[in-house]
Amino acid sequence: MTLTRKGQAVTLIGLLSLAGVYVRAIGYTPIEIHQGLAQKIFYIHVPAAIYAEVAMMLVGLGGVLYLFLKDPRLDRFAAASAEVGTAFAVVVLTTGPIWGKTVWGTWWAWDARLTSTLLLFFLYIGYLLLRGTVTDPGARARYSAVVGICGTALIPFIHLSVYLFRTLHPQPIILKPSAPSLPWSMLETWLLSLGAFTVLYVGFVMQRYAIGAEERDHA
Amino acid sequence: MREVIAHALGIVRKDLVLEFRTRTGFISAAAFTAMVLMIFEFGRDPTAVPTIDLAPTILWITFSFGAMLALNRAFQLELENQALDGLLLAPISRTSLYWGKLLANLAFVAGVEAVGLPLFVLFFNVPVGHVLGALVGVIVLATVGFVAVGTLFSAMVIRTRFAELLLLVLLLPFLVAPLVAAVSITSALFAGRPLSEVMAWLKLLAAYDIVFVTLATLLFPSTVEE
């Protein structure tokens, strides 16, 4: 089985699990009292946001390892992770306003967390544009590694700004220093969704990595 | 270590002499800064928005534009006659080369800011006398981190197509954290509030400088090796 096929299989599993998560979220998870049905979007929004960011960190990690080992496969992985991260950032930036319109009453608010995802998205755009303009594979890999590492280093600064700048966004309810303030039934659904997104991330990256490998063979 | 610094200062001297002899870059950047300040005057309704509310934004947007303009020239200079290859072949470390370029850029941006600040005070009638020391400190803190990343990126993008545009797209996400911090601190200063109120922002700026100057120094060799 080729890597593309394997990637497609993993992606299919991810999509099916996500469908399952939504059956559970809509049918078997309680409705949040203040936000109503709009809260259901949380099960996509937050895992996508987490993976948009994890993908950037893996781009950075791929970059660090590439600069030490000079293995082109690491660069190909970083490129794949960046594209998948971009897609997840788009999911966050689409689901955020849909939820925001219902709950905040406005499509877009310059809320720190929404803004930081937008920044992350622009970071990805810059990274991918840079890859597109450099033709020499060695230089492309080195330049991308440098931008990827700097991008990863920027993430904590983006997060610090969340806490320092006044924000409309709900405060973190799962990844926070104290215990998650979420009923177990909701948390369970959310964790299943996080699992589905993990599978999706792996499936997408496998497929994109396989395309990268083919691009090299045809170059 | 002493040698690294001496070589870096050599590069600074070379860049500044080049700049001083032509002056085109500096005069363009200074004129551009003055014009951005002027445009802000037309971009608001002075009867509706008090200047003091908008002043920190005006100051920092102007400085960021001026700095970005300056960053493009650092390595652009070296493209002519393959001067960069000459620099890379010279028996100096990559660290010297990066620090030299960084310091030369900082001197250039500081020059532009030194023109911009008095003009800002003049045009918008913002009294800065009582906070001048703190304001200069914030300007230095915010400029160092941003120029450090910019110098690193400009070394890469000059050899790509659409260099100027690409540098802006790559750099703007990195500008936001220091910009927000600098605007918040400047607002506090202009409003006469104590610096202790914005301590968290000051720490963020300092951390940003330390992280990105270190990271850029470590990563720079990867941007120029063949």
- DSSP helix/strand/coil, B193: coil
Rounded-to-10 torsion of CA B219, B177, A123, B103: -30
Q: For residue B192, is pLDDT > 90?
A: no
Q: For residue A62, is pLDDT > 60?
A: yes
Which of the residues B219, B220, B225 would you substitute to probe the A interface, choosing the one with the greatest number of A C-beta atoms within 10 Å?
Answer: B219
Segments forming the whole domain that contains residue A13: 3-29+37-213
Q: For residue A4, is pLDDT > 70?
A: yes
Confidence of residue A89 (pLDDT cuts 50, 70, 90): very high
- The C-alpha of A65 sits at a distance from chain B's nearest C-alpha, in angstroms, of 13
Distance CA B15, CA B44 (A): 39
Mean residue pLDDT across chain A: 86
A165 to chain B: closest CA residue = B180
Interface of B with A (CB under 8 A): 149, 152-153, 156-157, 159-162, 166, 169-170, 172-174, 176-177, 180-181, 184, 200-201, 204, 207-208, 211-212, 215-216, 219, 222-223, 225
Does A164 sit within 8 Å of B200, measured CB to CB?
yes
Give the A:B interface size as CB pairs under 8 Å.
Answer: 82
* pLDDT score at A71: 92
Among the residue ranges A175-184, B52-61, B204-213, the one predicted with the least confidence is: A175-184
Which of B152, B173, B219 comes nearest A122 by C-beta?
A: B173
Could you tell me if residue A126 is inside a domain? yes
Share of chain A above pLDDT 90, in %: 49
Could you tell me if residue A219 is inside a domain? no
Report the number of distinct structural domains present in chain A: 1
Contact B185, B198 (CB under 8 A): yes
**Residues B72-124: tens digit of each pLDDT:** 777 777 777 777 788 888 888 889 999 999 999 999 999 999 999 999 988 88
Distance CA A65, CA A75 (A): 9
Q: For residue A69, is pLDDT > 80?
A: yes
* pLDDT score at A162: 64
- Residues of chain B positioned with their CB less than 8 A from the CB of A146: 152-153, 156, 219, 222-223
Does A130 sit within 8 Å of B173, measured CB to CB?
no
Interface of A with B (CB under 8 A): 67, 119-120, 122-123, 125-127, 129-130, 133-134, 139, 142-143, 145-147, 149-151, 153-154, 157-158, 160-161, 164-165
Largest CA distance in chain A: 56
**Residues A26-41: tens digit of each pLDDT:** 877 777 777 777 778 8
* pLDDT score at A79: 95
| Amino acid at site B99 | W
This prediction's pTM: 0.88
Could you tell me if residue A162 is inside a domain? yes
DSSP secondary structure letter of residue A28: I
Token pair for B136:
């200069």
- Residues of chain B positioned with their CB less than 8 A from the CB of A78: none
Distance CA B34, CA B28 (A): 10
Q: Which of B106, B124, B146, B8 is nearest to B57 (CA)?
A: B124
Q: For residue B67, is pLDDT > 80?
A: yes
Confidence of residue B141 (pLDDT cuts 50, 70, 90): very high
Segment B211-220 mean pLDDT: 95
Residue identified by tokens 């001496």 is B6
> In angstroms, how far is CA A66 from the centroid of its own chain?
22
B226 to chain A: closest CA residue = A139
Which of the residues B170, B211, B215 would you substitute to probe the A interface, choosing the one with the greatest number of A C-beta atoms within 10 Å?
Answer: B170
Could you tell me if residue A218 is inside a domain? no
* pLDDT score at B220: 93
Q: For residue B183, is pLDDT > 70?
A: yes
* pLDDT score at A87: 95
DSSP secondary structure letter of residue A41: G
Q: For residue B126, is pLDDT > 90?
A: no
- Residues of chain A positioned with their CB less than 8 A from the CB of B152: 146, 150
Segment A191-214 mean pLDDT: 91
Could you tell me if residue A192 is inside a domain? yes
- Residues of chain B positioned with their CB less than 8 A from the CB of A85: none
Could you tell me if residue A193 is inside a domain? yes
Token pair for A144:
């991308």
Segment B58-81 mean pLDDT: 82
**Residues A145-198: tens digit of each pLDDT:** 999 999 999 999 887 876 676 554 566 666 665 556 677 888 888 888 899 999
According to DSSP, the residues that pair with A36 across neighbouring strands are A32
Which of B152, B170, B184 comes nearest A130 by C-beta?
A: B170
